[in-house]
Structure 1
């Protein structure tokens, strides 16, 4: 018995030893894990985010441009096109797809999934990893791409665990899910779920369908591999796995899963780069506007805002619907106009196409000037340090390039020098639409294609305004000479002697048809038909000074020389200035400076800027109303009369159908067309009570123009864009564009009853006199 007791004591001692070692190892392991976590949190394995960073993760956010009707027009960003959204903006099917696929026990753990971690260790990851959504978020926000070095990868994993636990302590599950969706890079410049939803499907996240949500969640595994633009088959298979996971976790039924898996992946791809999308020219202008604002409006700590990283929200006056209508109107008309221009300027018809009335030497000089002014020349000279000879030689070497056409981009091979001439042939345009009572700019189209033609013809480009300048002359006569619309002037050639107003030569402008009736003509009839003789008479009676002063007070900031010839539109002015000035007529004589930004907020919604209108009284209400009544005659009886037409026209010379003027407007419209010397510029300014719109069309160089006034006048080049745009605006009654007449002031001190001649036949407007026409733009360059 004693022997047995001794054996039992030995066994008991041995058992206690094993227990001791077990608990020792266990506690050592626990302490080791705790120590590792502590070391990680103390930064032993690399810098860790502090609590302030966890409360406000340092994610770069794109600044968002918002239209007046609440749509996103575009964003400003460098590399990351990210615009965060709130959890309530995420549809349930999107969240469910994420949970089912990435972290089934998301709502059960506190950042680390114990079961998943043990499974990953036991099977070495062959049956799935252990990264929770919170850990993946930690990696995206603070850790970065997994290292290929095993030691570094292990320390990164430890940091993920530590940060994940901290995230769980600081945020709710809903906030973690939201951050995860807001930070992931879905490729194709789509960072965050909102950008991905808009870019791949053209809609907001809340409008995603079940299968669209599944596709986007499927991209979380590897957005580069599962790129829907390049790997449709792989994306479809991955999406179907997500749908299976949703079925497995009882978010959807088998029937729903089977039906959705059978649907092909269909994209509505809308790239959000600076070259694409809506209002590209406006966004280009706004970018510089914001940079100027940032210079003068620092943060409270003195640092400057970063337009590309600070997530500013810029509320603009642009209406996305009206902007779309404007861009469609420009495209529809410019395609037809360009086709006609090309027919008239084939090499067989014009040896120096697309230039007219230039010698071959002048064409060469014009192209050389464009070459020196090009971005390619600037880059090679200043960035690469190439010599002039090297640069010129490179312009004559063929290379692959993609060029613009109205039928879509063309991949071709040509020399950069030939591409300059190719691009010169395209007619350009500028268009702006503004609410005159508020100055709010509703639409802005600075050209035909922002990617290939960056120069903005709304704000940057100044061109001769032709007869659209005449209302400033007539307004001066009504305001200062107290003339009524029925005041009559003889239609005879009127000469202003040399040196009377600083003009070196006598100025004796012809009418556009080189004829003078010799009869008395009312101011209304003269303005309606743009009669140069009457305008010259008025200019002589008023003098250039008061006309220039009025134009400046109405918002024209461009230089206007005080010469008599300005009466016929020799000054170079922007579309932006002209629309603002014409808004004075519609706003009862009060000029309101055009405005494009109403409010700026930071990423937290704090208001940084709110617009205050800049206005000034320029004309009395009765003078402004009188001018509107006179300009209504342009549409009733003059060169704008085709806005009343309802029929299509035909081109008789080539027997081909051309676009007519099927507008059929019956509501009151005030307007003015304008055409400059040789049909180089075509203008139309159109006014209804609550909308003023200006349109310019022409070539890049003044030597690029139509041969005759048939197609080259403002009524044919610019007016159709206005007509197409307004038809679309009127078709959308939600816009509230007025069809009513202009409001008449209570006190009218001007007699509007005119007995003057108003011919029924439309007469083309007058041209800029040749002696005032500058030569084709160019400069002396040592070639």
Structure 2
């Protein structure tokens, strides 16, 4: 080949090489320019709006309002869709953080939001060997981008994730990003965020999670629906996914091979504790608190004038409820009520009681009662709101419908006419119980019923029923305050008639004693212990109804009480809430303290928005309060509360044995208390006190026509006292609660003699031989 041709060939080769080089650099620089342009277009919002720095500083997430007990446990939350309560990085266990990094982003602490190696690997293998999303990118998608897109949008979304991820990395520390990621994720079953997830799946706080529990929760990041431990469609999928997380932890040397192998053989060991407004602990109290918070929000706007959002602003409500005492109260109800209900059902079988569950009502009265209940029902309200006619609504109550009904053996799925279901529910006996510290007014336990899912009516605060003999101590206290009587003072238990005009009565009133005994005299101590009606009536005759009412109102009772002598025996309708607060005054040396349920409220940043102010007032002298307490102690030493001093069923007659066997009380400490039973056994009460805790219990049916036939089971000592006994036994046995077993403190200037063995009438200002005036100058 000639030199000329060879030179031409070399020139051609050189030109081609240069052209390839130019093409390479053109493509390379063009690609870089395209990527830069793509990022610029994304940052300019061409592919959708991006968050600015102010939004990055405060990502918009709905935060549930958290209800916190006095012992720092979460009682529940208020939320619409997001049951989310954030935690800081310091509250996360190391094994949880390690599991996340090993599984989702092994080089997390080495990159600045985008993992170049992971991205290159994903491009080369087209994602077949794993994606390239870092934790920061996944957080960006959760917070600002949304669900995964398809088609072309898939790539523009990825660009937006990259941009936001790098912004997040500049705005937050690595630890803060991890905390945000755990807090934002939806783990299913109302478990929004790691705090709710740990609580719902394992009944723990995040920092209490064990390694295998952390691995399961991290495994759910791949797909919380597919790897839901409660999903019966994929029974072993969640466990397998957990084991993949453990494999990753072993791969990156967070755990040893031995630990991995041992944990992979274990079950998930869930402790599923659902969180909803109708499940969990203290449901009735939380319903009360919902109203309390709405009232507070109405009257306490934010600094900018906006109203707080109870379901999204992440408020923290610190309550006085003690989670341990609340649990003991609910356990006592759950133990006693099924036994009592079983006996009631046995007595009211159709063959024994054709009008079951009602007594003393004829067919016409029962129909009237049920029709009234129908028109007051939620079904009637909803259908009326939808524009249905009365005829249509009534017809719906007699049409068989699929429903789930309550029973003490568990919920029952059945088909029943709504009218029949209403009658079915009329048979149930309900409890109401409240416990509070008399000194501070802090309410420690609140049980408004037996199952909030099926019975929303609160028998602590909403319900008001006849209080029976639990009202008598108010009469005694008035007499002690005004007449300076000793518990050892004797009065005849013979019958008494209080004249019609004396106190404005429409007709004379002649009370009767339940045992029919009217012979001899009794001390006031024995009279109250045995609930002798005639002696209470004699005291009422001496002091008059109005002073008793005045005292009761000073004790915090707001319900209307008619000024008639018969109130002495408890004809007034009062709530458990009112009765506990009133009795607490006796334990608190005559000082009334208004019950407190909320100590303070904070916003999501910990700023205190509300701090409660104690409300208290002197009502009676410390001496009067102490003497009344000593009278009430006699009830548990020699009266209807004596069974608290005994063990199990041995203290009961044989006909009690079926419902009380297994109730070991055997209290040795001083207890002041009073049972209460209404005339037809429709209401059973027990009010009981130790120096630093006052607790009231009521048991009865929704309608007063539903009740026990006889006083054997229908008295407060059988209906309500067992709940008090089991609750107090648990509280006293829990030494951390420091429930007092000491004597009630006597005032230093006590002048009334309370020890009847050494009773000296000459040392009294008023003696047994001294005549009491028929009327006082009111």
Whether the aligned pair in 2 keeps the contact of 1:599 and 1:607 (CA below 8 Å) is yes
The Cα of 1:30 is off from its aligned counterpart by 2.0
The match for 2:383 is 380
1:334, 1:313 → 2: CA distance? Answer: 34
1:152, 1:3 → 2: CA distance? Answer: 55
Whether the aligned pair in 2 keeps the contact of 1:520 and 1:756 (CA below 8 Å) is no
Correspondence 1:366-765 to 2 at 5 A:
366-382=369-385, 384-517=386-519, 519-649=520-650, 652=654, 658-659=660-661, 662-754=664-756
1:45, 1:579 → 2: CA distance? Answer: 64
Q: Structure 1 residues 406, 657: CA separation in 2 closer, same or farther (over 3 Å shift)?
A: closer
1:514, 1:657 → 2: CA distance? Answer: 27
CA deviations 1:447-490 (Å, max 9, x no partner) are 11111111110111111111111111111111123323233322
2:376, 2:132 → 1: CA distance? Answer: 58
The Cα of 1:14 is off from its aligned counterpart by 4.1
Matched, 1:252 2:255: yes
1:67, 1:657 → 2: CA distance? Answer: 33
Whether the aligned pair in 2 keeps the contact of 1:322 and 1:729 (CA below 8 Å) is yes
1:387, 1:701 → 2: CA distance? Answer: 28
The match for 1:74 is 76
CA deviations 1:595-614 (Å, max 9, x no partner) are 01111111111111112111
Q: Structure 1 residues 652, 742: CA separation in 2 closer, same or farther (over 3 Å shift)?
A: closer
The Cα of 1:740 is off from its aligned counterpart by 0.3
Runs of 4+ aligned structure 1 residues displaced above 6 Å come to: none
Q: Secondary structure at the match of 2:138?
A: helix
1:524, 1:621 → 2: CA distance? Answer: 18
CA deviations 1:576-627 (Å, max 9, x no partner) are 1110111100111000000011111111111111121110110111111110
Q: Which is further off, 87-96 or 63-72? A: 87-96
The Cα of 1:502 is off from its aligned counterpart by 2.8
2:188, 2:558 → 1: CA distance? Answer: 45
2:358, 2:662 → 1: CA distance? Answer: 26
The Cα of 1:21 is off from its aligned counterpart by 3.3
The match for 1:329 is 332
Whether the aligned pair in 1 keeps the contact of 2:648 and 2:660 (CA below 8 Å) is no
1:337, 1:429 → 2: CA distance? Answer: 11
1:27, 1:386 → 2: CA distance? Answer: 73
The match for 1:213 is 214
Correspondence 1:71-110 to 2 at 5 A:
71-110=73-112
2:491, 2:757 → 1: CA distance? Answer: 12
The Cα of 1:296 is off from its aligned counterpart by 1.1
1:94, 1:68 → 2: CA distance? Answer: 28
Q: Secondary structure at the match of 2:110?
A: coil
Q: Which is further off, 678-687 or 225-234? A: 225-234
The match for 1:270 is 273
1:717, 1:367 → 2: CA distance? Answer: 26
Correspondence 1:218-297 to 2 at 5 A:
218-230=219-231, 231-297=234-300
The Cα of 1:648 is off from its aligned counterpart by 1.4
Whether the aligned pair in 2 keeps the contact of 1:685 and 1:693 (CA below 8 Å) is yes
Correspondence 1:43-54 to 2 at 5 A:
43-54=45-56
Matched, 1:308 2:311: yes
1:43, 1:498 → 2: CA distance? Answer: 88
2:643, 2:490 → 1: CA distance? Answer: 26
CA deviations 1:78-134 (Å, max 9, x no partner) are 111111111122122211111111112212211112222222222222221121111
Q: Structure 1 residues 655, 744: CA separation in 2 closer, same or farther (over 3 Å shift)?
A: closer
2:477, 2:7 → 1: CA distance? Answer: 126
Q: Secondary structure at the match of 2:415?
A: strand
2:655, 2:730 → 1: CA distance? Answer: 31
The Cα of 1:647 is off from its aligned counterpart by 4.2
**Structure 2 unaligned blocks of 5 or more:** 760-778
Q: Secondary structure at the match of 2:109?
A: coil
2:610, 2:308 → 1: CA distance? Answer: 13
Whether the aligned pair in 2 keeps the contact of 1:488 and 1:522 (CA below 8 Å) is yes
Q: Structure 1 residues 657, 204: CA separation in 2 closer, same or farther (over 3 Å shift)?
A: closer
Whether the aligned pair in 2 keeps the contact of 1:525 and 1:756 (CA below 8 Å) is no
1:289, 1:657 → 2: CA distance? Answer: 38
1:353, 1:205 → 2: CA distance? Answer: 51
CA deviations 1:163-184 (Å, max 9, x no partner) are 1110011111111111111110
Q: Secondary structure at the match of 1:433?
A: strand
2:580, 2:653 → 1: CA distance? Answer: 32
Whether the aligned pair in 1 keeps the contact of 2:594 and 2:614 (CA below 8 Å) is yes
Q: Which is further off, 681-690 or 504-513? A: 504-513
The match for 2:775 is none
The match for 2:366 is 363
1:754, 1:127 → 2: CA distance? Answer: 89
The Cα of 1:266 is off from its aligned counterpart by 2.2
CA deviations 1:138-196 (Å, max 9, x no partner) are 11111111234x23333222211111110011111111111111110000000111111
CA deviations 1:351-408 (Å, max 9, x no partner) are 01111111122112222222211111111111x2221111111111212221111111
Q: Secondary structure at the match of 2:220?
A: helix
2:34, 2:542 → 1: CA distance? Answer: 99
Whether the aligned pair in 1 keeps the contact of 2:478 and 2:548 (CA below 8 Å) is yes
Whether the aligned pair in 2 keeps the contact of 1:486 and 1:756 (CA below 8 Å) is no
The Cα of 1:277 is off from its aligned counterpart by 1.1
2:484, 2:49 → 1: CA distance? Answer: 79
Q: Give the TM-score taking structure 2 as reference length.
A: 0.94
Q: Secondary structure at the match of 1:694?
A: strand
Q: Which is further off, 445-454 or 489-498? A: 489-498
CA deviations 1:209-249 (Å, max 9, x no partner) are 22211111111111111111112211111111111111222
2:659, 2:218 → 1: CA distance? Answer: 51
Q: Secondary structure at the match of 1:729?
A: helix
Whether the aligned pair in 2 keeps the contact of 1:63 and 1:309 (CA below 8 Å) is yes
The match for 1:152 is 153
Matched, 1:319 2:319: no
Correspondence 1:16-165 to 2 at 5 A:
16-148=18-150, 150-165=151-166
Q: Structure 1 residues 246, 12: CA separation in 2 closer, same or farther (over 3 Å shift)?
A: same
1:372, 1:253 → 2: CA distance? Answer: 67
